[in-house]
Structure 1
């Protein structure tokens, strides 16, 4: 912190000393530097005049650095982080300043809101399409709930696409080819259909690439196969009215996402003892990471989405009216097999050859409708810039999860029941058709789980700028938000029946008298859950008669309602002593809605061991009331203090510094325990730090950018205060640790030459940048159940180097570029998790989801 303070003081001193000199230089228009206009406050303003921490990126800068989707944005903004796990459509999380929601549960909403042309994208996976034909991109850091509404407690990503031209015919085509058989085509055309009145714009992109992960048998994973089309109609019937209509369609069909075995379990030999396959893995640990080697299995991920939106702007004279309405439909599907083993254990989904014919697919189906109306204007001789508005959103979710058990399931589970004892204890000499000697077979058993959720949100808001003097301004904003969610879980079908009683009775008979009741309950759950179905959470059957399927940690049918409301607000002071300098300070309160854990294990029985022990009490059994987990979680809140300074140095260099302190309460966490996805609220979390941005021209043709973020994002040591009992053990292991994927320091350094090659008229582009990330934890929980650090869950610090060199024809119509990303081929992990079918339980085996290795290729650009 001392170094951080020294950096802040030093930078402020340099900036404060500069204005007198800077005012003697030529103005921006004379130097050729155009102001960067953004809409972070829903007003078109120079980014240097906004009392907020905003990173604004022009489309030319995105092209120079090869950024074609939001997953690459960390290479220009070190405060921005995005990671994906098993499925990109469900398992993508975005973080700003180390703060964000981690997990692949559709019931969790992001802490970083994504907006495309003013339309809220309901989940990060919905917004993973290619970035093509953009006007600008803005990364807003810190709570943005007053203006941007839902689920922006950590920040927002605001993307604006290019409007149709009303006067000129224009277009472009970009084609790329690279390693891993990478192919990408982007194109767009704008046509005026009524001169200066109406125009249309069509744009699209197609991207395909082989997978960079391979099994010993040569099967690839983590490939790319996606396309997107967008159409627009823009009309300006007169100077006061504009209408913009947009429609888009996108599809992905990919083999994603596999994981490397970064830690092999010591129990692996017992799979071989029971006649199981060798897992198809010839490497694990660092050698597997370096060689990008994974096990066999099927991992499919696909999605289709479409939507349309409309924007009306109307200058009423004394005020300006803006309306934005939208409707979006998103459908995803996924298939996984084997639980990261090569054994034929189970299939989730229906896209694999081992899945049961006729079963439902696994995936999400999300429909979203939004309406926003704003009215804004000025008063008191422009001393007040006022804005009022309202928002309504209606979202419906259908989440399906189908699991089918396959031939190797029982033998795989049995191999790990007692670890090293399995090799000598005849109790575990299992056959293909029986587990613990049970004369029933789990092969072919299945469950079709369905979640339904309907969420409605409405809000009213105001955001006002008081220009107290020409140099001093005060911004006050507030928003009232009302959230309502109705959700339910049911099993549409499952095979249970005859096997359930036989399995439980047999296991209990084998273990009775030799295994204590609490341990016996766990073994019954492990070995017999394939034969049991869900029961009603609200009306469980009466207990008694010994073992029953209701005692197992299995899905419980439930239906519930979540309601919450909140007032978010912001207050900011800006002081601008001259045109080149802005000091600001602000306080913001943000909010992210709570909801429900949409996972089959979200409402399981919590005290089966106590119930069994009570039933075993002699001479009179004791009936212990069942306790079920609560599938809901609370809303997340954040309070932030931010102070900063923005300066223009020497007429061409922008220097921005922000210091921040974010305090979260009821922070939402999703943990994969190895048996279930557990969602809970942590009492508190905090992120404090500083961000520095330096960018601009060093000469007519040379520009540079330097960005650095220090963020100490962590859980306080007392973060377990008031936590519910069901989550206390997990939260205790979090307290005192850093947040997931939150490096303390990250930075970017870039240099660009964009000018003449020689006197021939050809242009030359040379761009290079280096990205650095400090050590970060890639797992949700830092300690195992024995409170010991989990090996290999930390990604060590690393550098990644990117470069691009291009030639442009004298008429500037064609550009030829050679490019490379991650040129030093640094192999890094974004997410680490455990895999119970390899390790049996706990953290014996760990898998890592690997980020892209070295990529390189050629791009040809044409414009007309």
Structure 2
């Protein structure tokens, strides 16, 4: 029964304030689990029972009840996954509060998994995940590689916190381990057809069976899913963010004797989808330029350049472009388990091949500014892994030793092209910027022209003075003449603006870049993990792992440029001519001073040689008039020189010149970065764990320390190199780009936790509480600036908080579950952190919570069930640069399912389902629209886009099992 406290909190859920307090409801729900279970102790079990299923996990590479494992681990069985409608990995968020799974530019290349707010966000294949993903013990090397259909699943385990001992590298935040349903000799099968909104059709089927006498059994599972997109193109009849995927998994199990099993698994996945489009979130001034160009190019008054009502779910794209992603993945693994005199031996051998192609409109507007042409950009992984473990017991010690080896070949090709709309767009912005900058130089030029006129008048006066004295001077005397000449003022050549094409003699359209990367990664490790039973029900766990990692990279960057080099050459030439002009002014001042000295010497000599007072006065007074004029000119000369120098270092002028040059030499296509690059990186790391636990009746108390490790690598992006053209323009000296500019260092974490697990009334309720503190050194972060991807090693990031998860069976067999995670995840403090100093981490909400309930009830000879679940996410920033425009407010997503089934075998089920039942509106990630402004907050010129969360979906499913 719910307590009055529960009811009090429940009345506060509703509206914005209620959403902000949703974690209180979840917490009160968790507290009520053991109370409700105890109150039900006197009741009979009834038709549906009051006992929770015991979950056996392999989080420690041994089979143990989840309530006996001294780790922060969550586990979800097949029934709970089915009730919650979890059919792919991303949907695990519905039931796992500490887990977050997001996508960016595409599910195949832009996926990110986070645990306790920690993960690696990158569309770049050079970055490996912080959350390790394992399927049947086989490591999947990137999050996007595993963003597929699940098929038939036995259970999912989520290990929270670093798992550096048993899972090794790239598990610094945690591990998601998926265990699929294994073959069985008993014949069985199922078929599931689901139809829903957005013309969704999903068909899943599987069968298993074998021969008990021979010990051979087979299993086949398959999924086909097709659905229209959630986003509509307002200009052309098409949708984006659709589904079109096929998954097949076949298995063979061979059990020659009770002590040996051999499990062969082969799987294939195919995807052909248009994902992921973005909507306009915040309108910047460049949106008006895009709208104007689209009107001129299409002559269509109804054309939409960028749609800025995000939850109208309209996404713009240029004609003929899109967001294509095609993927094919195959894998084969063999797992052998056998008992020997030494212990239980496990060997897992796997070969996987993952290939994806994509194309995308990189500016997310109707104007064809730039694109990745359809199917020309590709990523491929060929991976071989081998793990072998030996587990045994020696007295009070349950010991395990093992070795792991992985070899990964990564091929990555990135192709970018200027679109037909790039020229008018770049010229509009470059021209406006040039004219604004040119106004300052024009004002300086006006001053220079006035100075030149004054200098000419003085030179004429000096010449007249000399000519007037010449007839009266004795032989041997000559009046000195000023020889210094003013340099011509260099007019700013880009104002009034014409076009990049005219200045450079080239064109943008049809040109671009092709960057090819090849990387080999080789990793091997030795590890041991040992549990020691001690007196008074204490258990000590000690683990250690040594990992050796090596990476080598070869890259070939090519571009076809017709604008950047000649245009930037003109910009550089103008700056050099301005510097020469300022130097000329200094030389002119020196010449004037030299002339004045010569004039003074002439006056002294001439007045001594000519005794005539009238002549002396003429010589003296004329020279004084000439000298006074020049002396009055020199301060103006200094002012002109200072004005010119100030203009060259003026931030607004430099920003304007930078903008002009950036549109001619965008980082994606910068030709000064062309060439071949090669390099390697070697790492050796020790990770491990020490834990102490004690079983006290039905309670387990545990705590310990763990060290995790995430490999370093290379940022596979042209924009990660420092541009020689831009450094030449800004410093006067061109740098030499190299592989060292791509390299980023490994990430390590030291973590401490203290937890307890409670089991109440013979498994009528269970609860897990965990306090954690994690300190990351060298945290790997990527951020997109709108022009380039930057790779950073953040010196320090901390994650600390508490997790509570619980399940219980209450009145009438109603099963409820819930979980709350409070995570305070922040960057370190100091000037080296910039705007991130002391701030909350990207994609790290302070509070997340899940809650769900399943009620079963008889309907004659049939069985009915109703399931509802919800996930609450508090406010968080979705941008790695923490721009205020990227802040997502708190939101709650509710899902529901109503089922009717015939129990027994064969069994059929019909269910009505709804995802995001209340049609909650939220975005997953907001980002700077490429090439569309800069800045954040007041005064920003940046347009911002966003990838949206899914809208409400609903449908019906029919399932048959035998």
Per the normalisation by structure 1, the TM-score is: 0.86
The alpha carbon displacement at 1:302 in A equals: 1.4
Pick the aligned partner of 1:820 from 908, 914, 921: 914
The 8 Å contact of residues 414 and 435 in structure 1, kept in 2 or not, is answered as no
| CA distance in structure 1 between the aligned counterparts of 2:867 and 2:423, rounded to whole angstroms | 56
Task: Give yes or no for the alignment of 1:156 onto 2:188.
Answer: no
* Deviation readout 1:76-120 (Å, 9 max, x if unpaired): 011000111112111110000001111111000000000000000
1:770 aligns to what?
Answer: 870
Pick the aligned partner of 2:411 from 398, 404, 421: 398
| CA distance in structure 1 between the aligned counterparts of 2:544 and 2:302, rounded to whole angstroms | 56
| CA distance in structure 2 between the aligned counterparts of 1:279 and 1:259, rounded to whole angstroms | 20
The 8 Å contact of residues 643 and 660 in structure 1, kept in 2 or not, is answered as yes
1:441 aligns to what?
Answer: 507
The alpha carbon displacement at 1:341 in A equals: 1.7
Pick the aligned partner of 1:389 from 391, 402, 410: 402
Mapping 1:796-811, distance limit 5 Å: 796-811=889-904
| CA distance in structure 1 between the aligned counterparts of 2:519 and 2:569, rounded to whole angstroms | 37
Change beyond 3 A, Cα 1:692–1:555: farther
* Deviation readout 1:392-431 (Å, 9 max, x if unpaired): 0000101100112222212212222376776998958877
- Mean Cα deviation higher: 678-687 or 342-351: 342-351
1:831 aligns to what?
Answer: 925
Relative contact order (alpha carbons < 8 A, sep ≥ 6): 1 or 2 greater? 2
The alpha carbon displacement at 1:180 in A equals: 0.4
2:451 aligns to what?
Answer: none
* Structure 2: gaps (5+ residues): 1-20, 440-493, 579-643
1:537 aligns to what?
Answer: none
Task: Give yes or no for the alignment of 1:780 onto 2:916.
Answer: no
1:170 aligns to what?
Answer: 188
Change beyond 3 A, Cα 1:690–1:860: same
| CA distance in structure 1 between the aligned counterparts of 2:409 and 2:335, rounded to whole angstroms | 23
1:503 aligns to what?
Answer: 567
1:330 aligns to what?
Answer: 354
Instruction: Describe the SS at the equivalent of 2:430.
Output: coil
1:281 aligns to what?
Answer: 304
The alpha carbon displacement at 1:250 in A equals: 0.3
- Mean Cα deviation higher: 733-742 or 104-113: 733-742
Change beyond 3 A, Cα 1:319–1:523: same
Mapping 1:437-476, distance limit 5 Å: 437-469=503-535, 471-476=537-542
Instruction: Describe the SS at the equivalent of 2:327.
Output: strand
Mapping 1:57-456, distance limit 5 Å: 57-166=76-185, 168-195=186-213, 197-217=215-235, 218-271=237-290, 275=296, 280-281=303-304, 284-285=307-308, 288-297=309-318, 298-351=322-375, 361-380=376-395, 383-417=396-430, 434-435=500-501, 437-456=503-522
The 8 Å contact of residues 58 and 136 in structure 1, kept in 2 or not, is answered as yes
Instruction: Describe the SS at the equivalent of 1:443.
Output: coil
The alpha carbon displacement at 1:24 in A equals: 11
Change beyond 3 A, Cα 1:289–1:14: closer
Between Structure 1 and Structure 2, the one with more helix by share is 2
* Deviation readout 1:13-40 (Å, 9 max, x if unpaired): 999999999999999x996443110100
2:57 aligns to what?
Answer: 38
Instruction: Describe the SS at the equivalent of 1:659.
Output: strand
What is the CA RMSD across the aligned residues, in angstroms? 3.3
1:592 aligns to what?
Answer: 710
Pick the aligned partner of 1:739 from 833, 841, 863: 841
Instruction: Describe the SS at the equivalent of 2:114.
Output: strand
The 8 Å contact of residues 164 and 708 in structure 2, kept in 1 or not, is answered as yes
Change beyond 3 A, Cα 1:602–1:338: closer
1:861 aligns to what?
Answer: 959
Instruction: Describe the SS at the equivalent of 1:165.
Output: coil
| CA distance in structure 2 between the aligned counterparts of 1:463 and 1:633, rounded to whole angstroms | 30
Mapping 1:635-784, distance limit 5 Å: 635-651=746-762, 652-699=764-811, 701-718=813-830, 731-757=833-859, 760-783=860-883
The 8 Å contact of residues 133 and 161 in structure 1, kept in 2 or not, is answered as yes
Change beyond 3 A, Cα 1:486–1:26: farther
Change beyond 3 A, Cα 1:733–1:276: farther
* Structure 1: gaps (5+ residues): 352-360, 535-548, 616-622, 722-730, 784-789
The alpha carbon displacement at 1:794 in A equals: 0.8
* Deviation readout 1:114-145 (Å, 9 max, x if unpaired): 00000000001110111211111111100111
Change beyond 3 A, Cα 1:435–1:624: closer
The alpha carbon displacement at 1:437 in A equals: 4.0
* Deviation readout 1:718-759 (Å, 9 max, x if unpaired): 3x65xxxxxxxxx312111111111100111111112422xx
Change beyond 3 A, Cα 1:57–1:625: closer
Structure number with larger C-alpha Rg = 2
- Mean Cα deviation higher: 318-327 or 748-757: 748-757
The 8 Å contact of residues 442 and 531 in structure 1, kept in 2 or not, is answered as no
| CA distance in structure 1 between the aligned counterparts of 2:136 and 2:50, rounded to whole angstroms | 31
| CA distance in structure 1 between the aligned counterparts of 2:307 and 2:133, rounded to whole angstroms | 37
* Deviation readout 1:496-549 (Å, 9 max, x if unpaired): 3x6555433445567765973855763564243379977xxxxxxxxxxxxxx6
Mapping 1:480-499, distance limit 5 Å: 480-491=546-557, 493-496=558-561
The 8 Å contact of residues 230 and 248 in structure 1, kept in 2 or not, is answered as yes
Change beyond 3 A, Cα 1:74–1:772: same
